[in-house]
Amino acid sequence: MTVTAGARPSAELRASLRRREGVVILSLIAAVLVVAVIALLTGAFAADPGRVLLSLVGAGDPGTRTVVQQLRLPRIVAAIVFGGGLAVSGGMFQLLTRNPLGSPDVVGFTSGAFTGALVAIVTVGGGVGATLVGSLLGGAVAATLVYALGGHGGRTRLLVVGIGIGAMFTAVNHWLILTADLDTALAAAVWGAGTLNGLTWAQVLPTSAIVLLLLVVASAGSGRARMLELGDDVATVLGVPLGRTKLGMVAVAIALTGAVTAVAGPIAFIALAAPHLTRRLLPERTPLLATALMGALLLLASDTLASRLFSPVQLPAGMVTICLGGAYLLWLLGRRARLG
């Protein structure tokens, strides 16, 4: 009787947490769908819902089909998938570093991936495959440097070293753009702001497949990752192989960042802000799906705002994310300072 009475609150608490998770996830899905519908219906070429619906099933007039299927839909899919990938990558790095600022764009991995992609563009002329390989290699080099120089000095040292490595790669990026020919430099400068403008299915489909596969891998290892939240000592007692688990998380997170950067450029602050916002909604336990949906919502909303704010001029999505993310970062730093 005592055991049952003692177990009941625990069961009720678990049920309450599951209900809250379900409500948050369903709300995020609904928000993503609403913003996606807005992105489909609005823009320089406005179309009523009926024509857009016909275009989605391959019917309707050719002009609307082209705009919806070849221009808007790839961009929406890219924003959802890429935003989810960046958010999960950021959540992994924050867990590994035990630091709310430990996202790939802060600790230099995104800058390294951008450097690798730029080298591929300047040397072999780009292409999805070459840029993807270059981006992944650049991110891996950045991660190796950060962990080699700062991995044994505590989490604060790791973060500081990462910021320094990121600044170094940023300088290299500027040099590569300045020394490239004019057309390459102009294209790289726009792409370097982080943009989904002009993406086609040929770019979106293979990259999205890679990101989704990596998200499946991350989901498969989420159980071990959650145990790391308890601390390395407790995780070891529970049988978690720390070395392999952390190395796997770093590899998946770098691959997610590199894959997105290869196609869309270095989109800032999604990886930093999305895990934070998700934890504010679900502080007890943060499911990977909720984090991915938050990232998808942030990038899709930012890209829709960027493309509609000064229509027909389309701004890079990264300009919006860096403005919103900068404000969020200032708020976060101020909050941490107040808390001491």
| CATH numbers and ranges of domains, the chain | 22-339 (1.10.3470.10)
The answer to whether the CB of 334 falls within 8 A of the CB of 69 is no
Q: How far apart (Å, rounded) are the C-alpha atoms in residues 253 and 215?
A: 9
Report the range of poorest mean pLDDT among 79-88, 201-210, 276-285: 276-285
Q: How far apart (Å, rounded) are the C-alpha atoms in residues 191 and 267?
A: 10
Nearest residue to 247 (alpha-carbon basis) of 58, 96, 135, 113: 96
Q: How confident is the model over 266-293, as pLDDT tens digits?
A: 898 899 889 989 988 988 777 899 999 9
Share of the chain above pLDDT 90, in %: 25
Average pLDDT score over residue span 170-178: 88
Q: How far apart (Å, rounded) are the C-alpha atoms in residues 266 and 81?
A: 15
- Check whether 178 has a pLDDT greater than 60: yes
Residue 34: predicted pLDDT = 96
Average pLDDT score over residue span 96-117: 82
The answer to whether the CB of 269 falls within 8 A of the CB of 324 is yes
